Amino acid sequence: MSDAHKHDSHGHDHDHDHSHSHAHESDSCCAPAQSGAPKASSSATACCGTSEAPVVQPVAQLGKQTTTGDGVRTPIRIMQMDCPTEEGLLRKKLGGMQGVTDMEFNLMQRVLTVTHAPKEIEPILAAVRSLGFTPEIANSASSQEESTPEPAKPWWPLALAGVAAIASEAVEWAGLPTWMAAALALVAVFACGITTYKKGWIAIRNGNLNINALMSIAVTGALVLGQWPEAAMVMVLFTIAELIEAKSLDRARNAIRGLMQLAPERATVLQADGTWQDVAAKSVAVDTRVRIKPGERIALDGKIVSGRSAVNQAPITGESLPVEKAEGDPVFAGTINESGSFEYTVTAAANDSTLARIIHAVEEAQGARAPTQRFVDQFARVYTPVVFAIALAVAILPPLLMGADWFTWVYKALVLLVIACPCALVISTPVTIVSGLAAAARQGILVKGGVYLEEGRKLKWLALDKTGTITHGKPAQTDFVVLSGMKEAELRSLAASLAGRSDHPVSKALTEAAKRDNVALRNVDAFEALPGRGTKGVIDGKLFYLGNHRLIHEQGRCSDELEARLSVLEEQGKTVILLADDREVHGMFAVADTVKDSSRQAIAELHDLGIKTVMLTGDNAHTAKAIAAQVGIDEARGDLLPEDKLKVIESKIGQGGAVGMVGDGINDAPALARADIGFAMGAAGTGTAIETADVALMDDDLRKLPRFVRLSRSTHALLVQNIVLALGIKAVFLVLTLTGAGTMWMAVFADVGASLLVVGNGLRLLRK
Ligand SMILES: Nc1ncnc2c1ncn2[C@@H]1O[C@H](COP(=O)(O)OP(=O)(O)OP(=O)(O)O)[C@@H](O)[C@H]1O
Ligand SMILES: [Cu+]
């Protein structure tokens, strides 16, 4: 009974193990559809603002419709939607519709994903249009179209408005007739404020008080009160400031687009007739042969087939030291070939490359709400109505009850309306988080959601897998000892034959050594992998076992003498496996793995950050202790089966504080999924790790862990700073207004100034 296909699955076919824990439905990364240009005549808007801002290209490719259990998920791009005010409008409108079961907003990418009953998409699009927005859905006809930027809106209305507002001010100051100031002010307000009024009207009609509504009311009120120059100034300032704000928001958005532009658009491809030709990278199929010159950026993922070089992989791994690459090594799109030239075969289409997956993951991550963001959104939902109510009271109560001057108090109420906009507060969180995510991605740390970026700072315990995480994961055979009457050559031949069938690192070490010494291999029947223990198989009609102490002990073939011999080797940090048949143990083999230099440094940095470390391994306890001591890990747990690793994680979670787990993502899936934050190592090579981990470290350098924690801490600090700033500025103006010192244009300045400040503050993360 030969089963050549059965393979010890330590290596690479465990995908099903984790697919259940983080099911992914969206496929927009792999979907060929690329949205066409935003053809709508409306342009992008700033947060809550008027639409004078130049249009930015959408970053994300718009995904296609997907069918899920409860309906159809349709991503809709709405270029006018990048502020919670628009989200509020849409939520209210669509939330009330039959057939809509779920909505996900990604304001940074301006994509709304609606889950709805099949065929219900048209009424939804109509509802979106009724709010004055232009919805776009992916459509295969336009998929190959290149996006072309929409022409920017003319600048002259704003300039005209500015001049008119200043003139109005001057006329009043010079004591010229009021009708002149009034006329100039009306010109200014209508030259630049029409959009604000339009949007404000739509919002009011839908029972929503967004800043457009508030500004419209405030400016109208000022006009009614005869505050001509002031009304004009407020509208102009508001428009200018919104423009600036839109620009700063685009910077955060572009941080991610910057990543995408790393891969060149063209590649030099071998043609059927043997010539080389420059073609668009998008059109290159898998298995095509591509040539790379020194200094050139690599356009597609692939595997080197000839030549060698040093490649700077910083765009993927964040590590700028070039990596030596030779035949058989993988190369990634977006990385830079430094010295030699080589040829490689393409392993993934352009929209499926590692870089594309990274970008997709970061974009998805932006859509997920971080805890602070949820809190802020909730706060904003009550804040605006409350301030609006106060404004009403201020306008009505003092004049009615105390006979105070109507003019003064209505004016104060109008100023309060301007203060009532929570924009600065609401926009600060996503900008900060997105900057944090982008900064992390640039360092080769792929964070799959704002939640993890916020949680990272709370880590108390970090559990690390041993093999391949702390160590290089490439052990080499160091010793072998015959324990029975068996011939040395026979022992090695039997062991190597079994080991050759497995791709477990320990087995591989034996195979390598056997190959080097030209040990003859034999045919193995009924081969079986015994997880956490070893392997077994039939050679020449006889059953043999090759496995660890646990295996031999469980079979009752262990002895004190054998244990003593094992301990000697294990205490040197070596892993020992034994060859036995069903009667006796014939010999033992020791292999030794080396720890990475970077691991030692990473552990020290983690300790400095106040994080405790524990090493989890299926290897024996002595070896575990020896390796842990080498890198300075606090606690070592050996002899663990995968479910035991899970239990250790659970017990640490029970102690309070967040618990992280670092592994290769292949054989630690349950523990990784259970931990508060699951980190997958070396994600660049294995496609699944990027999708399944909470945080994917693109290479296997553990120093990314302390880096991640520090980034998480600074993100949190900025979030708090921004909330305090935004609320503080509002509070100051509230007091100023109530005491009579605040004017309307000051409030506009404060509002937009605060937004600018928090956005700028959040963007600082990009420089980390
Ligand atoms: N296929 C195999 N070939 C040889 N030895 C094996 C095999 N499978 C398991 N073993 C033995 O059992 C031990 C535990 O294996 P397991 O796969 O659970 O852990 P590991 O992957 O080696 O370590 P870690 O948990 O640190 O990743 C190994 O150290 C090895 O001694
Ligand atoms: Cu034993």
Q: Which of the four pLDDT bands, split at 50, 70 and 90, describes residue 28?
A: very low
The whole-angstrom separation of Cα 713 and Cα 579 is 50
Looking only at the bridges linking them, the beta strands covering 677-680 and 342-346 are: unpaired
Flag whether pLDDT at 745 surpasses 50. Answer: yes
Q: Which of the four pLDDT bands, split at 50, 70 and 90, describes residue 40?
A: very low
Residue 336: helix, strand or coil by DSSP?
strand
* Residues 303/329, Cβ–Cβ less than 8 Å: yes
The whole-angstrom separation of Cα 358 and Cα 258 is 12
Give pLDDT, residue 58.
41
State the closest ligand 1 atom to the C-alpha of 498, by its place in the atom list counted from 1. Answer: 3
Give pLDDT, residue 576.
95
Question: Which range, of 131-145, 326-340, 753-767, averages the lowest pLDDT?
Answer: 131-145
Question: Which range, of 30-44, 75-89, 397-411, averages the lowest pLDDT?
Answer: 30-44
**Mean pLDDT for the stretch of residues 133-147:** 58
More confidently predicted of 118 and 581: 581
More confidently predicted of 306 and 22: 306
Structure token pair of residue 627: 């390796």
Q: Which of the four pLDDT bands, split at 50, 70 and 90, describes residue 82?
A: low
Q: How far is the CA of 713 from the centre of ligand 2 (A)?
A: 47
Give pLDDT, residue 685.
67
State the closest ligand 1 atom to the C-alpha of 641, by its place in the atom list counted from 1. Answer: 18
> CA end-to-end span of the chain, whole Å?
60
Dump pLDDT digits (tens) for 515-532. Answer: 999 999 999 999 999 988
**Mean pLDDT for the stretch of residues 296-308:** 92
Q: Is position 465 annotated as part of the catalytic site? A: yes
Q: How far is the CA of 637 from the centre of ligand 1 (A)?
A: 14
Residue 724: helix, strand or coil by DSSP?
helix
Flag whether pLDDT at 47 surpasses 50. Answer: no
* Residues 526/497, Cβ–Cβ less than 8 Å: no
- Nearest to residue 545, comparing CAs of 488, 591, 502? 502
**Mean pLDDT for the stretch of residues 688-702:** 84
Apex 358 CA angle, 340 and 62, nearest 5: 120
Q: Which of the four pLDDT bands, split at 50, 70 and 90, describes residue 263?
A: confident
Which residues surround the ion ligand 2 when the cut-off is CB under 5 Å?
A: 553, 558, 563
Helix pair 121-130, 84-95: axis angle to 10 deg = 130
State the closest ligand 1 atom to the C-alpha of 502, by its place in the atom list counted from 1. Answer: 1
More confidently predicted of 349 and 31: 349
Task: Please give the domain boundaries of the chain with CATH numbers for all domains.
Answer: 15-142 (3.30.70.100), 266-352 (2.70.150.10), 476-592 (3.40.1110.10)
Establish whether residue 466 lines the binding site of ligand 1, counting it when its CB lies within 6 angstroms of any ligand atom.
yes
Q: Which of the four pLDDT bands, split at 50, 70 and 90, describes residue 210?
A: confident
The catalytic position among 8, 82, 465, 694 is 465
The whole-angstrom separation of Cα 483 and Cα 563 is 13
Q: Which ligand is nearest to the CA of 620?
A: 1
Flag whether pLDDT at 57 surpasses 80. Answer: no
Q: Tokens 């993951």 label which residue?
A: 361
Establish whether residue 668 lines the binding site of ligand 1, counting it when its CB lies within 6 angstroms of any ligand atom.
no
Establish whether residue 664 lines the binding site of ligand 1, counting it when its CB lies within 6 angstroms of any ligand atom.
no
Q: Which of the four pLDDT bands, split at 50, 70 and 90, describes residue 375?
A: confident
Q: How far is the CA of 598 from the centre of ligand 1 (A)?
A: 23
Give pLDDT, residue 703.
95
Give pLDDT, residue 538.
96
- Indicate the length of the chain as a whole number: 768
The whole-angstrom separation of Cα 660 and Cα 700 is 16
**Mean pLDDT for the stretch of residues 146-161:** 65
Q: Which of the four pLDDT bands, split at 50, 70 and 90, describes residue 8?
A: very low
Q: Which of the four pLDDT bands, split at 50, 70 and 90, describes residue 37?
A: very low
DSSP label of 629 = H
Q: How far is the CA of 41 from the centre of ligand 1 (A)?
A: 62
Give pLDDT, residue 260.
62
Give pLDDT, residue 521.
93
- What is the four-CA torsion angle of 274, 277, 281, 287, rounded to 10 degrees? 0
State the closest ligand 1 atom to the C-alpha of 471, by its place in the atom list counted from 1. Answer: 26
Q: By alpha-carbon position, which residue is closest to atom 2 of ligand 1?
A: 534
Give pLDDT, residue 458.
94
Question: Which range, of 61-75, 323-337, 389-403, averages the lowest pLDDT?
Answer: 61-75
More confidently predicted of 417 and 507: 507
Establish whether residue 618 lines the binding site of ligand 1, counting it when its CB lies within 6 angstroms of any ligand atom.
yes
Give pLDDT, residue 257.
67
Task: Name residues whose C-beta falls within 8 Å of residue 284's C-beta, 6 or more positions apart in sequence.
Answer: 267, 269, 290, 299, 300, 346, 349, 350
Give pLDDT, residue 752.
78
Q: By alpha-carbon position, which residue is closest to atom 15 of ligand 1?
A: 532
Measured in degrees and rounded to the nearest 5, phi and psi for residue 133 equal -100, 160
Give pLDDT, residue 150.
46
Establish whether residue 506 lines the binding site of ligand 1, counting it when its CB lies within 6 angstroms of any ligand atom.
yes
Establish whether residue 575 lines the binding site of ligand 1, counting it when its CB lies within 6 angstroms of any ligand atom.
yes
Establish whether residue 617 lines the binding site of ligand 1, counting it when its CB lies within 6 angstroms of any ligand atom.
yes
- Nearest to residue 615, comparing CAs of 585, 573, 557? 573
Flag whether pLDDT at 38 surpasses 50. Answer: no
Q: How far is the CA of 615 from the centre of ligand 1 (A)?
A: 15
Give pLDDT, residue 13.
38
| pLDDT over 70 percentage in the chain | 86
The whole-angstrom separation of Cα 29 and Cα 363 is 10
| pLDDT over 90 percentage in the chain | 36
Q: By alpha-carbon position, which residue is closest to atom 10 of ligand 1?
A: 534
Flag whether pLDDT at 488 surpasses 90. Answer: yes
Flag whether pLDDT at 15 surpasses 50. Answer: no
Q: Which of the four pLDDT bands, split at 50, 70 and 90, describes residue 664?
A: confident
Q: Which ligand is nearest to the CA of 548?
A: 1
Give pLDDT, residue 63.
67
DSSP label of 262 = T
Mean pLDDT of the chain: 82
Establish whether residue 508 lines the binding site of ligand 1, counting it when its CB lies within 6 angstroms of any ligand atom.
no
Flag whether pLDDT at 738 surpasses 60. Answer: yes
**Mean pLDDT for the stretch of residues 130-154:** 60
Establish whether residue 507 lines the binding site of ligand 1, counting it when its CB lies within 6 angstroms of any ligand atom.
yes
- CA 590 to chain CA mean position, Å: 42
Question: What is the pTM for the complete model shown?
Answer: 0.80
More confidently predicted of 326 and 206: 326
Give pLDDT, residue 83.
65
